[in-house]
Chains A and B, each alone.
Chain A
Amino acid sequence: MTSLDLDRIVVQREGRTVLQNLTLSFAPGALTAVIGPNGAGKSTLLAVAAGLLKPKEGRVTLDGRALHDLHRRDLARRRAYLPQFPKVDWPLSVERVVALGLTPSLPAFGGLPAALQARVQTALEAHDLLALRERPVTALSGGELSRTMLARAVVGDPEVLLVDEPTAGLDPRHAIDAARRLRARADRGCAVVMAIHDLDLALRFADRVVAVKDGAVLAAGAAEEIFTERLISRLYDVQARLTRDEMGGAIRFID
C-alpha cells in the first residue's frame, strides 16, 4: 500500500511564498478533499504532490522514495494527475484519449498490446463510455468529457490519483457522479486527493480533509473534525452554518 508524503514543502513564485512549510500525508484507501478559498494554494499543492512542480524546499516521497528520484515513466505509471478543466486539442476519439493514459506502460515501439487494450475496454465500461468510444472528444458534453478524462487518469490503475476540481462546471448529477467514482477508486485502495470547492460533496464523500489558507495548512484530519462551523468560518472568512439531518450534512454561508 502506497502513501504519498509531503515534508516541509516551501514553494515560491516570483518572490512570493505560495506554500509555506507544508507537511501532509495521503494514505491509501482514503479520499482526501483539499479545501480552501481561491488562491490559497490548493492547485499548487496538488502540482507539487504530483511531482510536476519542484518545491523550493522540502520533499515529496512515494513509499519513502523521493519523487524526483523515481524515473519519469515509473512515476507516471504509479500516480495520475488531472488538472482543472482538462481539455484535448485535437478531435481524437474517446477511446484514443483513454488509451493515452497507458502511455507510460507502452513498449518502446509499436502500438497498444492486447493486454493494455483490455484495460482500455475495462475503463470505458466502468465509466459508461462504451457508446461514446468513437466520438471525437471535442464533441462531448461537460459530463461526458469529465468521465472520459477520469477514465484516462485511472486506466493505468495508479496507486495515487490527484484531481484538481473534478466537479467544476458540472451539474449536480454529474458532480455527484464524479465524486462517487473517486470515492470508489479510494475504496479499491488508491490514495485519492481532490481539490474541491463544493463543500457539500466533500462532506458527503471525503474521509479526510486538508484545509488550506494563505499557503499554509489551517487544519488537516478526519472529515468530521474539520467540518465544524468554527473552522469553516475561519477558513473562508464567512460565517458558516453546518446543518445535519438524516440525508447527511450541508454547509450554508451567511454574510
Chain B
Amino acid sequence: MRLTLLIGLAALAAVLAVASLLAGEVWFSPGQVLRALTSSPPNLTRLVVLDIRLPRTLLALMIGAILGLSGAALQGLLRNPLAEPGLLGVSSGASLGAVIAIYYGFAGVVGWAAPVFALTGALITAGAALLLSRGGATLALILAGAAISAIAAAGIELALNFAPSPYAAYQITTWLMGSLADRNWDHVRLAAPFIVAGGVLLLLSARALDVLALGETQAESLGVDVGRTRLLILFGTALGVGGATAVAGAIGFVGLVAPHLVRPLVGHRPSRVLVPAALVGAVIVLLADIITRLVHIGPELKLGVLISLIGAPFFLWLVLHVQRRTAA
C-alpha cells in the first residue's frame, strides 16, 4: 500500500516534470526534445529545454517538495492540522528579507541579494520564534510564530507604503506573488543546497514525530529529545523554505494541503507522511507552474496566486472539516 503510493506519486511527478519540459509558449514533442539533446550542434530547442525549462522544472520540483515536506514535519511537530511554514513566520520573514533587498536597491546591484536577504530573514524569524517559545509548550511556538509573522507582514507593508518609486512598489508586489518565470541555473545553484540540507534535517526528525503523537511528556519519557527535535525541524524549515522563498517568492498553501492529501493513505503516521507529502507538494507546484504557462489572459498568471486560488478553498474546507470532527 505504502510502496504503491510512493511509486505512484513519484511516477506522477516524473510525468509532470517531463510535461513541464515540453509545455510553454512553444510546444515540443518528446521526439523533438530527444533529437535536439542528442544532436551535436547547439540548436534553439536544446537551448530552450536545457537553459530555460529544465532549471524551472527542477525548481518547481524542489520547491514543491520542500514545502510539502516542511508542512508535514511542522504538522507532526505541533500536532496541529493547520500548521505550515507560513504559520511560523518563516515565509513572511523570507519575504521581508527579499523586500528589503529590493527596497534598498541591493537586488538591482547584485542578482543574489534578494535570495540571500530572504534566507537571512527566514532564519531570523524561525530563530526568534524558537527563542520566544523556549520552555513553553507547542501553543507558545504557534503564538510566537503568528506574532512574528504579523511583524514581518507589517514590515512589508511599511516598505510598500514608503516605496521610493512606483516601480519599486510594483517590483515588490510582483515578487510577493511568487513565480518561477525567468529563473535560470543560477537560481537552482543558489536554492538547491539549502533545500537539500533543509530536507535532510526534516527527514531526520521522522521517528521523533511518530512518538510525539503521544504528546511531549510521553515522547520525552520514551527517550525523545523534544527540544532537539523542535530545533531540527525549525532550522530545517528555515533553510529549506527560506531557500525556496528566496528564488520563487512566497508560495503558500502547498505545505498546508500536501500532508492532508496523503495522511489518511498512510494510517496517519507522522513519519510516513513526510516523503509522500513532499511528492504531492512537487506535483502541485509542477502542475500549477504548467498551468500558468498555458493560461494567456493579459499579463503572466503568477504561480503563487494560482496556488492560493486553489489552496484557499481547500483551507476553508479543512477548517470546516476539523470543526465538525472536534464537535462530534
Interface residue? A55 (CB, 8 A): no
Q: Which residue of B lies closest to A73 (CB)?
A: B223
Which listed residue, B214, B220, B270, touches A52 by the CB 8 Å rule?
Answer: B220
Contacting residues, chain A, for B218 (C-beta < 8 A): 81-83, 86
* Residue pair B214, A104 in contact (C-beta under 8 Å): no
Closest beta carbon of chain B to A102's beta carbon, Å: 9
What does the 1/0 interface line of B197-231 toward A look like (CB < 8 Å)? 00000000001001101110110111111000000
Cβ contact within 8 Å between A88 and B213: yes
Q: Are B222 and A100 in contact (CB under 8 A)?
A: yes
Verify if A194 is at the interface (C-beta below 8 Å from B): no
Contact with B along A96-113 (1 / 0, CB 8 A): 110011011010000000
Does A93 lie within 8 Å of B215, measured CB to CB?
no
Residue of B218, B224, B269 with most partner-chain A CB within 10 A: B218
Interface of chain B residues 52 through 68 with chain A (CB within 8 A)? none
A76 contact from B79, B207, B223, B269, Cβ within 8 A:
B223
* A82-B218, A89-B79, A93-B267 known; A100-B223 Cβ under 8 A: no
Q: Is the CB of A91 within 8 A of B268?
A: yes
CB distance from B196 to the nearest CB of A (A): 20
Chain B residue nearest in CB terms to A83: B217
Q: How many residues in B have their beta carbons less than 8 Å from beta carbons of A?
A: 20
B215 engages A96 (CB within 8 Å): no
Q: What separation, in Å, do the CA atoms of A87 and B218 have in the docked complex?
A: 9
A residues near B221, Cβ cutoff 8 Å: 50, 52, 76, 79-81
Cβ contacts under 8 Å, A101 to chain B: 222
CA distance A106 to B271 in the complex (A): 15
Interface of chain A, main secondary structure: mixed
Kindly state whether residue A252 has any CB partner on chain B within 8 Å: no
Question: When the two chains form their complex, are residues A87 and B223 in contact, meaning their CB atoms are under 8 A apart?
Answer: no
Contact A89/B225 with A82-B218, A96-B267, A106-B207 known, Cβ cut-off 8 Å: no
Collect the chain B residues with CB atoms within 8 Å of residue A195's CB: none
A139 to chain B, nearest CB (A): 11
A79→B220 CA distance, assembly (Å)? 12
> Smallest CB–CB gap between B65 and chain A, Å?
22
Answer yes or no: A129 CB below 8 A from chain B CBs.
no
- B214 near A86 with CB under 8 A, answer yes
Q: Which A residues between 150 and 175 are near B, CB-CB below 8 angstroms?
A: 152
CB 8 Å contact bits of A53-93 with B (1 = contact, 0 = none): 00000000000000000001101110111110011111111
- In order of increasing CB-CB distance, the 5 nearest A-B pairs are A76-B223, A89-B79, A81-B221, A104-B223, A90-B268
- Residues of A participating in the B interface, judged by any CB pair closer than 8 Å: 47, 50, 52, 72-73, 75-77, 79-83, 86-93, 96-97, 100-101, 103-104, 106, 136, 152
Some 27 contacts from A to B, beta carbons below 8 A apart, are A47-B217, A52-B220, A72-B224, A72-B225, A76-B222, A76-B223, A77-B223, A83-B215, A83-B217, A86-B214, A87-B215, A89-B79, A90-B79, A90-B213, A90-B263, A90-B269, A91-B268, A92-B213, A92-B268, A96-B267, A96-B269, A100-B210, A100-B213, A100-B214, A100-B222, A101-B222, A103-B207
